[in-house]
Amino acid sequence: MPGENNIVVRARDGAGNLSRDATRSLVYVATSPLSVEVVGEGTVSPNLDGQSLELGRSYKMKAAPSRGHLFAGWTGDVSSTEPKLTFVMQSNLVMAANFIPNPFIPVEGLFNGLFYETNSIQFAESGFFVLKLTDRGTYSARLLLGGKRHSASGVFNLDGHATNSIVRRGTNTLTVEWHLDLASDMEQIRGYVGDGQWLAELHGDRASASAGTFQGQYTLAIPGQAESTSSPGGDGFGTVSIDSRGNLKLSESLADGTSIRQRVHVSKDGVWPLFVSFSGGKGSVLGWVIFGDDGNNDLAGLVVWFKTPNARSKYYADGFETESLVIGSRYLAPSNGERVLNFTDGQLILSRAGVSNINSFTLQSNNKILATDPKRVKLSVKTSKGLFKGSVVVEGQRKRLAIKGSVLQRQNLGTGYFLTPDQSGQVTLEATP
């Protein structure tokens, strides 16, 4: 610390005469050496390492990581997680500026996935998320829950953890915990979503260009419930395309006539987080679908379809919750002379919703369908997409029933639905036994 001593000072003029005695104060400044170690790839400025600094005085330093590295904190006699440091010099002060390889570079990009309670999936407590991660660990996210959108942003710590609190008007605050797997090449994100009354597990995958191995066209079906009158008995159907970068596009018609669309990214392992939310909070469809040969299908997964009560709905106004096993097949548009399905003689079967009807037809080499009774059955296939549509007159009914669906080439059949005034029934195209 500074100190004072008084001394007597005399000055001699040009003639050699001494001046009167004068008293002056000398200030002694106490100093001590500072030790600053740089651990990892980075710099500190100004570099005060080894310098003798005045005790009790305030100093500033700034840590700057090299390219591909991040600042991991000050340690030693002074600790801080901020790169800009202000400290008061003490005797023999020792500190270190720590830098580590940037763990976010390998996983930066887009993550998407689902969250729901694993013991019992509920519409109001399940949803979809998209998170965009930068190479600095900052992120922005969007969550879809109960028909509403919520936004969040923040910074992951170096352990891969982050938390958001999302205030919701008229209800509990939503808490979201995120955890990135930085220690492996799984490229996954996990966590939890909850509001104090419920807690849902969150899981997602990183979008990857290597998902292009699943590139191509697919057709799929969401089978209905055979024994139920409170939910659709018909099969939902649709088309899926995946481009070379793993971008997926879904176009689907659910078995109550609801059209749904989704654009999302497939993971490098072919995992698809299927999620569509209906406008106005009227329901959702969610579930995991996996692309790949399982011995019977080219895609498969379990999905849950929620339809909330709606008095204005023409079909199933009381609402429902149903689970279905999604199945699908790669689709290749037939060349000249190739049939879209591998049979010539087939049968069109209508079942469920109080209808039981079978009609025979011939699938010609040009993929025109010739019904045995063309007055009763009109049927055509759109070979570019793998979809069929038409209409049937059922015995005892005057009005034609519109039918529609998709062809599943691997399963060698077509499947879809028809709608009566109050029910949904199943349509099947298959080879004649």
Q: Which DSSP symbol is given to 235? A: P
Closest CA to 238 of 289, 204, 282: 289
The b/e string for 15-48 (b: 16+ C-beta within 10 A; e otherwise) is eeeeeeeeeeeeeeeeeeebebeeebebebeeeb
pLDDT of residue 8: 47
Whether residue 222 is predicted with pLDDT greater than 70 in this model: the reply is: yes
Average per-residue pLDDT in the chain? 92
The superfamily (CATH) of domain 105-206 is: Quinohemoprotein amine dehydrogenase alpha subunit, domain 2 (2.40.128.120)
> Which of helix, strand or coil describes residue 279?
helix
**How many CB atoms within 10 Å of residue 318?**
12
Whether residue 1 is predicted with pLDDT greater than 60 in this model: the reply is: no
- pLDDT tens sequence across 365-391: 999 999 999 999 999 999 999 999 999
pLDDT of residue 80: 96
Average pLDDT (377-406) is 94
The b/e string for 223-262 (b: 16+ C-beta within 10 A; e otherwise) is bbbeeeeebbbbbbbbbbebeeebbbebebbbbbbbebeb
Stated pTM of the model: 0.86
Whether residue 22 is predicted with pLDDT greater than 70 in this model: the reply is: no
> Are the C-beta atoms of residues 186 and 179 closer than 8 Å to each other?
no
pLDDT of residue 25: 57
Whether residue 7 is predicted with pLDDT greater than 50 in this model: the reply is: no
* Segments making up each domain of the chain, as ranges: 1-102, 105-206, 345-431
CATH number, domain 345-431: 2.40.128
* Predicted confidence band of residue 260 (pLDDT cuts 50, 70, 90): very high
> Which of helix, strand or coil describes residue 395?
coil
33 - beta bridge partners?
A: 52
Average pLDDT (398-427) is 95
Whether residue 282 is predicted with pLDDT greater than 50 in this model: the reply is: yes
* Predicted confidence band of residue 185 (pLDDT cuts 50, 70, 90): confident
* Predicted confidence band of residue 68 (pLDDT cuts 50, 70, 90): very high
Whether residue 23 is predicted with pLDDT greater than 80 in this model: the reply is: no
pLDDT of residue 345: 98
105-206 and 345-431 have identical folds: yes
Cβ-defined contacts of 31-34 (< 8 Å, 24+): 31/55, 32/89, 32/90, 32/91, 32/92, 32/93, 33/92, 34/89, 34/93, 34/95
* Predicted confidence band of residue 17 (pLDDT cuts 50, 70, 90): low
Distance spanning both ends of the chain, measured CA to CA: 102
Average pLDDT (217-234) is 93
pLDDT of residue 280: 82
